[in-house]
Amino acid sequence: MSKTKGLIAVFTGNGKGKTTASLGLAFRALGHEHKVCIIQFIKGSWKYGELEAARHFSPLLDFHVMGRGFTWKSDDLDKDREVALEAWEFAKKTIHDNHYSLVILDELTYLPHYKMLDEKEIITVLTNKPAEQHVVITGRYASQELMELADLVTEMKEIKHPFKNGVKAQKGFEF
């Protein structure tokens, strides 16, 4: 006898493909006419392919780019923290309201890593999510506690990267 339940998946590690893997799950869910919400915590407002493609899946897909592109090279860490916490409040409400079969929290792992959000709060929200809802978390530095909570954990490991041979990020492949 098989059982079904809303799963928690974590895509982490230093290799590329974490967001791409989550988008593959989104595409699969959309194919079954399930509602999907993608919340991006880091990526800024630049134009990239997945955001452009998302427009074609309305009204089943809601795509929210809520970051400023903040990184360790930020020009304003206080603003980054403020924006990150606003995105987290939105994510908590989205999960709680239970309007989506799949919620993707892209690059969420960076918030506790950079001390913008206490990971205990993330664990509490995920532990109390609607039973049938799937949640995917992406980003480097996933903690042991987050990985233990998850039903599925995949670590992306970089073996080879074109950037090391001087090939810059290319439209349609990296963004």
CATH number for the domain spanning 153: value is: 3.40.50.300
Residue 116 inside a domain? The answer is yes
User: Is residue 165 one of the residues assigned to a domain?
Assistant: no
Which parts of the chain sit beneath pLDDT 50? none
Q: Do the domain assignments include residue 26?
A: no
pTM of the complete model beyond 0.75:
yes
Cα 107 vs. chain centroid, distance in angstroms? 5
- Give percent of the chain above pLDDT 70: 93
Judge whether 74 lies within some domain. yes
The SS3 assignment for 93 reads helix
Structure tokens at 171: 């439209």
Write out pLDDT tens, residues 97-114. Answer: 999 999 999 999 999 999
User: How many domains is the chain built from?
Assistant: 1
3-class SS of residue 18: helix
Residue numbers annotated as active site = 14, 16, 18-20, 28, 70, 72, 107
Select from 168, 170, 151 the least CA-distant residue to 5: 151
Coil, helix or strand at residue 85 = helix
- 170 domain-assigned: no
Q: Which domain holds residue 125?
A: 38-157
Strands 134-138 and 102-106: parallel
